[in-house]
A and B are shown apart, each in its own frame.
Chain A
Amino acid sequence: MHELSIACSIVELVAETAKGRKVHRVTIEIGSLSGVVPDSIAFWFPEAARGTEVAEASLEIREITALARCDACGAEFQTPSMLTVCPCGSFRFRWLKGEELNLKSIELEEVL
Chain B
Amino acid sequence: MCANCGCGGDKTTMLDLQTGETTTIVTHQHEGSAEHGHAHDHDHGAHEGGGHHHHHHASHGQPGNDHFHSHHADRHSGVSVVDVQTRILAKNDATAARNRAWCMGREILALNFVSSPGGGKTTLLERTIRDLAGEMSLYVIEGDQATANDGERIRSAGASVVQVNTGTGCHLDAEMVARALSALKPAPGAVLFIENVGNLVCPALFDLGERAKVVIFSVTEGEDKPLKYPYMFRAATIVILNKIDLLPHLEFSLARAIANVRQVNSEAIILQTSSRTGEGTADWYDWLRAQLAAARQSAFT
Q: Out of B1, B29, B36, B84, which one reaches A48, CB within 8 Å?
A: B1
Q: Measured between C-beta atoms, what is the minimum distance from B220 to chain A in Å?
A: 23
Tell whether B54 is near chain A: CB-to-CB under 8 Å: yes
Decide if A55 touches B37 in the complex (CB within 8 Å). Answer: yes
Chain A residues 58-106 with CB under 8 Å of chain B are 58-65, 78, 81-83, 85, 91-92, 97, 101-106
Given contacts A8-B7, A11-B30, A109-B79, contact A38 B57 (CB under 8 A): yes
Q: Select from chain B the residue with minimum beta-carbon distance to A26.
A: B84
- Nearest CB to that of A101 among chain B residues? B88
A91-B263 in contact (CB<8A)? yes
| Chain A residues whose C-beta falls within 8 Å of the C-beta of B91 in the assembled complex | 9, 12-13
Give the distance to chain A from B78, nearest Cβ to Cβ, in Å.
Answer: 4
Residues of B204-225 whose CB lies within 8 A of A: 204-206
Answer whether residue B146 sits at the interface, using C-beta atoms and an 8 A cutoff.
no
Interface centre among A5, A42, A52 (most CB of B within 10 A): A5
State whether A83 touches B60 (Cβ < 8 A).
no
B66 beta carbon closer than 8 Å to chain A? yes
Q: How far is the CA of A1 from the CA of B4 in the complex (A)?
A: 11
| B32–A62 touching, CB < 8 Å | no
B100 at the interface (CB under 8 A from A): no
B201 in complex: contacting residue of A2, A10, A82, CB < 8 Å: A2
Bound: A50/B36 CA distance, A? 12
The distance from the CB of A38 to the nearest CB of chain B, in whole angstroms, is: 7
Which A residue's beta carbon lies closest to that of B171?
A2
**Contact A45:B34 (CB < 8 A) given known A6-B89, A108-B82:** no
Kindly list chain B residues whose C-beta atoms are within 8 Å of the C-beta of A78.
Answer: 63
With the chains together, A108 CA to B84 CA distance in Å? 12
A97–B65 alpha-carbon span in the complex (Å): 13
Residue from B32, B86, B201 within 8 A of A13 (CB atoms): B86
A45–B90 Cα gap in the complex (Å)?
18
Inter-subunit contact A48/B5 (CB<8 Å): yes
Within 8 Å CB of B9, what residues of A?
A: 8
Residues of B at the A interface (CB closer than 8 Å) are: 1-2, 5-7, 9, 28-34, 36-38, 40-41, 44, 48, 51, 53-60, 63-66, 68, 71, 73, 75, 78-92, 169-171, 173, 201-202, 204-206, 227, 230-231, 234, 262-264, 266
A-B contact pairs, 14 of them (CB 8 A): A3-B6, A18-B32, A20-B36, A24-B79, A28-B88, A46-B53, A46-B55, A52-B32, A52-B37, A58-B56, A61-B56, A102-B85, A106-B84, A110-B79
Sorted from nearest, which 6 A-B pairs have the closest CB atoms? A51-B34, A82-B230, A65-B63, A5-B7, A5-B6, A2-B202
